[in-house]
Structure 1
Amino acid sequence: MKISTIKREWWKEGVVYQIYPRSFQDSNGDGIGDLRGIIQRLDYIASLGIDIVWLNPVYQSPNHDNGYDISDYQNIMDDFGSMEDFDEMLEGFHKRGIKVVMDLVVNHSSSEHKWFKESRSSRDNPYRDYYHWWPAENGTPPERWSFFDEEGSAWAFDEKTNAYYLHYFDKTQPDLNWENPKVREEIFDMMHFWFKKGIDGFRMDVITFISKHDGYPTFEGVHGDKMIDVYASGPRLHQYLHEMNREVLQHYDIMTVAEGPGTNLSNIHDLVDEDRQELNMNYHFEHVELGLDARKIVNSDHRNLVKFKKIMSDWATAFDQKGWGTQWHTNHDFPRQVSWFGDDTAEHREQSSKLLSTFLLTMRGTPYYYMGDEIGMTNAKFDSIDDYDDLMTINWYNLTMAEGGDAQKLLESHKLSGRDNARTPFQWDTSENAGFSSAKPWLKVTDNFKEINAAEQENRPDSPLNYFRELTQLRKDNLALIYGAYALLLAEDENIYAYTRTLDDEVILVLLNYSSSSHVAEIPNVLHNGDVLINNFDTLEKVDAGFSLLPWQAVVLKIK
């Protein structure tokens, strides 16, 4: 791969840092993180060397699904502060050279949005067609599955108008009717509002679901979460995204990333290739779903490195000629990276955390990094359903109980896979509530905050925090780590993940031991001699076959 043939973009070269505002920093003592809390931590965020912040929803919301149920797209949730706070925060980020990407949640709104209140008031209301309705006199609507509904159905009966409305998620999150051009116009106007404020892009929540199939047909033999692929194959998805690009996106220097359930290697280029004039990047879920059955029950494929390497390699090379990809381990919807992909025991937590960070920042594609992972925060592993706030875990637990299933098995799996593991408050220091808040936090602080916190790691040279800072600088200093071609080595090795990144005549070798014991990376002789660019240990042992790697050792070498 040659740099002369590559179109450079700021959103390809940047490192994205995701902030879940509710759990980042509380400034007013109500136990809930807020915008002024983020303002207080601007210098810390800038010190990480990141370039872009993705901010989870801060819009007005009744907060049934932690802000993903929006009741007013152009106002700030009371819990988070005011629009003046937002403007000050945005200015503070921009002064520090950091761009800000917001969440765009337009597959559905809150049931408390004025559009839905009008829509459900009568069948002849002008807003009726802003949502999807099925008249009860037509019988039971065709099966649709809901991520969050306690009964698993995406149709909710509304007695006032004797009709069912569609909600792919919770019943408080009715799906918007994109087939109605007035809905699209309203959404595009709202997007212009935020871009004119100066934001730098959108992460688009479940954007692949916006186009519904005409007439809500029955899909024979497709049930439950198998409907995700159906939801993502709506007949006008690309028409609507192209229209969005034409009417809004192309008028600003911004980035877009789809949260794309149902995307795969056969359809991804329709979404992100430049000549499609739709979006820049996409999240796929194949790697984070490896090892999970329905309802996030963990199975034997968890920690299958050979399968993981195959997935990551296929996606890393998919954009060699066209389009651009993403790299990520976790976000607000998935467990902590060190607990899911690494070893969160005291012996190996810090080194495995560093290894996982090394992987994200040396792979091809824009890295998305979740707050708290830079200090190696771990899963909370709640013992009781009463400790959970997440609709998904709570509703699945109740549904499993109602079915007479093994609810305890679900709870044990969610100690590893549940979403609230990533939503616990940021661990700033050893003071009460980990320095997050002077009041009882909205979600319990993870018990190990006195051992794992930013203050303890700040001035310790070998801490995960300072290692992450070295990584972000390393990526900036080496274009090969951004644009270089990716080639997998040792595809069948069950413990070692090794690959090269090549740009022009420069070759960088990445060696990662995904194991809590030592292993030898047997690599070609031509790659044996190199200068170490970064190493999460003080030593690197060379052997005849290549390199002997310590448990969770991560090494990046520039080959001579």
Structure 2
Amino acid sequence: MTETSTETGLDAHPEQHPTPTGDQWWRSAVVYQVYPRSFADATGDGIGDLQGVIQHLDHLEALGVDVIWLSPIYASPHDDNGYDISDYRAIDPLFGTFDDFDELLADLHRRGMKLVMDLVVNHTSDEHPWFVESASGPDSPKRDWYWWRPPRPGMVGGLPGAEPNNWGSFFSGSAWQFDQRSGEYYLHLFSRKQPDLNWENPAVRGAVYDMMNWWLDRGVDGFRMDVINLISKHPDLPDGVVPPGALYGDGYPFYGQGPRIHEFLHEMNERVFVGRTGQYLTVGEMPGVTVADAQLFTDPARAEVDMVFQFEHVGLDYGPGGKWDPREASVLDLKRSFARWQEGLARSGWNSLYWDNHDQPRVVSRFGDDGTFWRESATALATVLHLQRGTPYIYQGEELGMTNVPFEGIQDFRDIESLNHYAEAVGVKGERADVVLAALRRTSRDNARTPVQWSDAPHAGFTTGSPWIAVNPNSTRINAAAQRGDPNSVFAYYRGLIALRHSDRVVSHGTFELVLSEHPTVFAFSRTLGDRQLLVLANLSSSAAEYDVAAVPGWEGAEPVLGNLPDAAPAVDGRLAPWQAQVFARAI
């Protein structure tokens, strides 16, 4: 299916944005991310698809989630697994057809669930008709739909140092690709096959808004907006500072929260959502965003987005060299980071809460103990996340305690970011292959992209064919079939957390206060709404912990609400077993 509607769309829904009531439906909702390529394969070709999602909706309904966030299913060459889109209004045949999509949407709505689409509009694929036309020559009517620049003065295009500026790509190498035919470079903050759209051009913005309206008219319930805080670039595109040991300059100060970002997001809200009668969710993925930035983006009075994905807590285990230089993150680091965001958005705005997604390694391996205390740490980490103030997000398999993968060698990886990093680190910088592989095993995005472990059948029940990426070998032990009927499983515990959010307004609407703030391993906080209060205590370590009962006065004899150790006698008594999490309630 091709795009047939107009490219401007700038006259849609001109009414004023209504002021939110403070009781939006998504405050008590839980969102579940489906990465279709790895969720379930119904056709036997080794790649997940829409019918595979449909076949497992009972699992999602039993879990109790309210919203499905669907990673890209649009037409794509799949250089970046679908985040390089060649047609925003076509379903990629790998995933199925529009009949499959309509069936999925109708089935979700029948079950009382909503569907949120992934919106990738910082860039397109280089195979998108917009870019094909833009690249046809300097006189193309769509030339300025993307960022084209000539080589540096006096330099020959295509040679080292001739790039228009020194920015590096998120996926290694330069952020500029030379086009031999026109003698100019185009900007790509990610893969060279993902050219950045020029949001300075109102025709680009109009085409994006028109496409969003088209999907909402089709019945979807909102958008998760990929790297949306990068869409506004400083028009001069100045050089960035080159960090120690880096090959390229840091361009983030010139495209992260760029000069017109708030204008663009407010305009998007006005042209897409205002005047509609449905209930929609908008969440912006925003790498590098600060609390102060998020206060502006999520302030309801500004009408930009409902919430943002921030990256502070998932960057705490990065060393001086960044993502590929991992270190251990302390519990103190984690809880101080979460508390800073809780406090920063307490009066205006809203938090999104997540551990895992398609870009992050598995939390039970990252911040937990995926060996001796696998179940305990998976459930303890879930407790401290889901009971904060904000909307929780679950990534597929997280509700089963899926872990990182024991990749043997570079041949086992599929992720373009990981492969490019290995090639640059080993082939260009001369780093030791074993050291680079150790970092990849810990932080590669492929840890999240192995197939969902449905059963102990071959390929974990994901496919009857050969999976596009190997299944984690622990699928014979960790899988949905083994957990679904077990009241003490990770899956059952997630169900309990979700049910608590739905049934107790103190979870969805109460205030947050960190307690035991300086304890090195116990993450503890209270939630308060009216005369009801919850206390959350969790020992995030593989050793027993003691805490000062005097720091949580009046909780002796409080009602136990939820706990992750079935055989433990719950009490606020100053002691917690390894990875024990316990929730108590009282009237105040």
Which of the five TM-score ranges fits, normalised by the shorter chain? Answer: over 0.9
- Higher alpha-carbon deviation: 220-229 or 369-378: 220-229
Contact 1:228 1:261 in 2 (8 A): no
In the TM superposition, residue 265 of structure 1 has moved relative to its aligned partner by: 1.4
**1:434-488 CA deviation, whole Å, 9 max, x = no partner?**
0000011001000000000000111111111111111111111111111111111
Q: Among 525, 530, 537, which residue is 1:504 paired with?
A: 530
Which consecutive unaligned segments of at least 5 residues does structure 1 have? none
Contact 1:381 1:414 in 2 (8 A): no
Q: Distance in 2 between matches of 1:17 and 1:407?
A: 36
- RMSD between aligned residues: 1.6
Do 1:540 and 1:548's aligned partners in 2 also have CA atoms closer than 8 Å? no
Number of the residue aligned with 1:353: 378
Matched-pair contact (CA < 8 Å) for 1:51–1:97: yes
- Which residue, 501, 516, 531 being the options, matches 1:490? 516
Shift of 1:512: 0.4
Which of 266, 271, 274 matches 1:250?
274
Which residue does 1:227 correspond to in 2?
251
Q: 1:96 to 1:154 in 2, by over 3 A?
A: same
- Are the counterparts in 1 of residues 488 and 566 from structure 2 also a CA contact under 8 Å? no
The reply to whether residue 155 of structure 1 matches residue 195 of structure 2 is no
CA distance in 1, matches of 2:241, 2:408: 39
Distance 2:312 2:111 in 1: 35
**Paired letter, 1:355:** A
Contact (CA 8 Å) 1:272, 1:323: kept in 2 or not? yes
Equivalents in 2 of 1:7, 1:358: separation in Å? 25
Residue 419 of structure 2 corresponds to: 394
Mapping 1:92-111, distance limit 5 Å: 92-111=107-126
Q: In structure 2, what is the Cα distance between the partners aligned to 1:303 and 1:144?
A: 29
Match of 1:171 in 2: 192
CA distance in 2, matches of 1:122, 1:230: 27
Q: How many angstroms apart in 2 are the aligned matches of 1:29 and 1:557?
A: 47
1:527 aligns with one of 555, 558, 561: 555
- 1:263 equivalent in alignment to 2:289: yes
1:514 counterpart residue number:
540
After superposition, the Cα gap between the structure-2 partners of 1:542 and 1:192, relative to the gap in structure 1 and judged at 3 Å, is closer
Query: Does residue 212 of the first structure (1) align with residue 220 of the second (2)?
Result: no
Shift in Å at residue 228 of structure 1? 3.0
Match of 1:547 in 2: 574
The code of the aligned residue for 1:205 comes to D
CA distance in 1, matches of 2:33, 2:578: 28
Consecutive aligned runs of 4 or more in structure 1 exceeding 4 Å deviation? 220-226, 539-543
Task: Tell me the alpha carbon deviations over residues 99-140 of structure 1, each in whole angstroms, 9 at most, x when there is no partner.
Answer: 011100000000000111111111101111110001237443
The answer on whether the counterparts of 2:413 and 2:446 sit within 8 Å (CA) in structure 1 is yes
CA distance in 2, matches of 1:298, 1:403: 14
Counterpart of 2:5 in structure 1 is none
Which amino acid counterpart does residue 357 of structure 1 have in structure 2?
Answer: A
Partner amino acid, structure 2, of 1:306: L
Calculate the TM-score normalised by the size of structure 1.
Answer: 0.96
Per the TM alignment, residue 318 of structure 1 is displaced from its structure 2 partner at its CA by 1.3
SS in 1 for 2:83: coil
Partner amino acid, structure 1, of 2:287: P
Give CA-to-partner distance per residue, 1:298-349, whole Å, 9 cap, x none.
Answer: 444x23111111100000111211111111101000001111111100x210
Cα deviation for residue 554 of structure 1 reads 0.8
Q: Deviations over 1:188-239 (max 9, x none)?
A: 1100010001101100000000011112123456775843343213111111
Distance 2:237 2:484 in 1: 55
What is the rounded CA distance, in whole Å, between the counterparts of 1:120 and 1:69 in structure 2? 17
Q: Which runs of 5+ in 2 are unaligned?
A: 1-19, 156-161
Conservation of the 8 A alpha-carbon contact between 2:291 and 2:345: no
Instruction: Identify the residue that residue 15 of structure 2 maps to in structure 1.
Output: none
Q: Distance in 2 between matches of 1:28 and 1:250?
A: 40
Structure 2 counterpart SS, 1:462: coil
Distance 1:298 1:491 in 2: 28
State yes or no: 1:146 paired with 2:169.
yes
TM-score (norm 2): 0.91
Q: CA deviation at 1:6?
A: 7.1
Q: Return closer, same or farther for 1:559/1:154 CA change in 2, 3 Å cut-off.
A: same
Match of 1:44 among 33, 40, 59: 59
2:557 equivalent to 1:558: no
Query: CA offsets, 1:49-78, max 9 Å, x none?
Result: 000111100000000000000000000011
**Relative to 1, partners in 2 of residues 1:225 and 1:348: Cα closer, same or farther, differing over 3 Å?**
farther
For the Cα contact (< 8 Å) 1:511–1:521, is it kept in 2? no
- Is the 8 Å Cα contact of residues 424 and 446 (structure 1) preserved in structure 2? yes
Q: Between Structure 1 and Structure 2, how many residues are aligned?
A: 551
Residue among 358, 382, 387 paired with 2:407: 382
2:464 pairs, out of 426, 430, 438, with: 438
CA contact (8 A) 1:540 1:547 kept: no
SS in 2 for 1:116: helix
Aligned to 1:114: 129
Aligned-partner Cα distance in 2 for 1:11–1:85? 26
Letter of the structure 1 residue corresponding to residue 566 of structure 2: D
